[in-house]
């Protein structure tokens, strides 16, 4: 089955570029930029990837990204992920970036966006991986800070297609950002939102009703609200689920406790993604493998998940159909 998963064409729709920093690259950049990491070695850094909840991960994620500083660093970080994605037969990827974690360190918006998009263009021409970029606001910061970030990003508006919301979910509901997302939509960007990872089903409803999110990132806690499940199924709202992330951040105790199979059986438009791969122990194929083993998924199930990943992408119907046509038939 691992070979079948490996050769399956797929899209990855929930991936934080800052969360793709492998310890080896972190140490190389730390040395180049003369920054001291709070770890003595790559092994010691990897051993620290032991989390009790979302916040315990975010603390390390924000601290580690301090080594990424120049446009070239952002390019190298992004290209390293895209090479890995290409090796796993990812044909299309939609990548989040967190500009506020960089502008807070006095790194200009242009350095971040130009570095990332240079790598995206390279991957399109040299690796055959297409991609879109999605700016994410940090929800633990204020709505005014999100609005300022949007203004700083507008000169680069041709380089990203959508806007999302990530970081500490509990206590920071989507409703906190109603005004800025109104402006986001007025400016013509696509809207996504992390909701129902640690937060309650109500946050998913808020993301849909108040922010007009077109996709929900994670969304696993929808299963606690039957009316919401019915709505998500009827409206075929895509959910970008990240199984290894959910287990490593203790949303579910073990993979067998994950509700992804129940979500699929409920007719939800579920996709499989890696979120922050080195931190959570696997890229997209390892996520497919983990749920295949836990739930005995069939080849047909796996093809359905890959098909969903193309259906849920921000691509034209024609582009989607072309990718879907590459899937094995049943």
Catalytic residues: 197
Of 67, 77, 164, residue with least CA distance to 118: 77
In the chain, count H helices and then E strands: 17, 8
- Choose the contact partner of 94 out of Zn ion, ligand HPA, none; CB within 5 to 8 A by kind: none
- The encoded tokens of residue 92 equal 């299309």
**266 three-class SS:** coil
- Which residue in the set 275, 277, 308, 311 belongs to the binding site for ligand HPA (CB under 6 A)? 275
Closer by beta carbon to Zn ion, 65 or else 303: 65
Phi-psi sector, 318: left (phi>0), alpha (psi -120 to 50), beta: alpha
Q: Which residues pair with 193 in a beta bridge?
A: 216
- Which residue in the set 20, 88, 149, 245 belongs to the binding site for ligand HPA (CB under 6 A)? 245
Q: How far is the CB of 317 from ligand HPA (least distance, A)?
A: 29
Q: How far is the CB of 136 from Zn ion (least distance, A)?
A: 8
- Residue 164 binds ligand HPA (CB under 6 A): no
- Residue 167 binds ligand HPA (CB under 6 A): yes
For the annotated binding site for Zn(2+), the residues are: 14, 16, 194, 275
Closer by beta carbon to ligand HPA, 16 or else 91: 16
Strands (E), 187-232: 190-195, 215-218
- Residue 16 binds ligand HPA (CB under 6 A): yes
Sign, CA torsion 241/273/299/3: negative
The HSE-up count of residue 77 (CA atoms within 13 Å, CB side) is: 34
| Nearest position to ligand HPA, beta carbon | 166
- Residue 197 binds ligand HPA (CB under 6 A): yes
Q: How far is the CB of 166 from ligand HPA (least distance, A)?
A: 4
End-to-end, the C-alpha distance of the chain in Å comes to: 16
- Residue 275 binds Zn ion (CB under 5 A): yes
Dist. CA 243–CA 223, nearest whole Å: 15
Dist. CA 178–CA 182, nearest whole Å: 6
Closer by beta carbon to ligand HPA, 130 or else 245: 245
Question: Which residues of the chain form contacts with ligand HPA (CB under 6 A)?
Answer: 16, 19, 54, 61, 166-167, 194, 197, 245, 275-276
């Amino acid at each position: 089955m691992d070979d079948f998963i490996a050769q399956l064409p797929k899209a990855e729709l929930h991936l934080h570029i800052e969360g793709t920093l492998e310890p080896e690259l972190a140490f190389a950049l730390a040395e180049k930029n003369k920054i001291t990491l709070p770890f003595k070695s790559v092994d010691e850094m990897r051993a620290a990837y032991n989390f009790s909840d979302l916040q315990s991960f975010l603390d390390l994620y924000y601290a580690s990204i301090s080594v990424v500083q120049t446009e070239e660093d952002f390019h190298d970080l992004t290209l390293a992920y895209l090479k890995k994605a290409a090796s796993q037969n990812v044909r299309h990827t939609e990548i989040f970036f967190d500009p506020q974690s960089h502008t807070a360190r006095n790194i200009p918006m242009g350095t971040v966006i130009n570095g990332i998009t240079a790598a995206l263009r390279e991957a399109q021409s040299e690796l055959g991986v297409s991609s879109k970029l999605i700016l994410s606001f940090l929800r633990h910061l204020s709505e005014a800070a999100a609005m300022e970030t949007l203004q700083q990003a507008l000169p680069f508006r041709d380089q990203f297609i959508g806007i999302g919301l990530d970081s500490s979910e509990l206590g920071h509901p989507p409703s906190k950002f109603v005004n800025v997302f109104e402006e986001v939509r007025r400016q013509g960007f696509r809207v996504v939102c992390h909701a129902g990872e640690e937060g309650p089903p109500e946050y998913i409803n808020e993301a849909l009703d108040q922010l007009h999110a077109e996709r929900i990132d994670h969304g696993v806690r929808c299963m606690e609200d039957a009316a919401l499940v019915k709505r998500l199924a009827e409206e075929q709202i895509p959910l970008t689920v990240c199984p290894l992330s959910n287990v490593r951040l203790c949303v579910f105790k073990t993979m067998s406790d994950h509700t992804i199979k129940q979500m699929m059986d409920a007719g939800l438009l579920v996709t499989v993604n890696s979120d922050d791969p080195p931190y959570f122990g696997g890229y997209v194929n390892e996520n497919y493998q983990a749920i295949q083993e836990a739930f005995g998924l069939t080849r047909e199930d796996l093809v359905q998940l890959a098909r969903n990943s193309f259906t849920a992408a921000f691509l034209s119907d024609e582009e989607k159909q072309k990718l879907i046509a590459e899937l094995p038939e049943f």
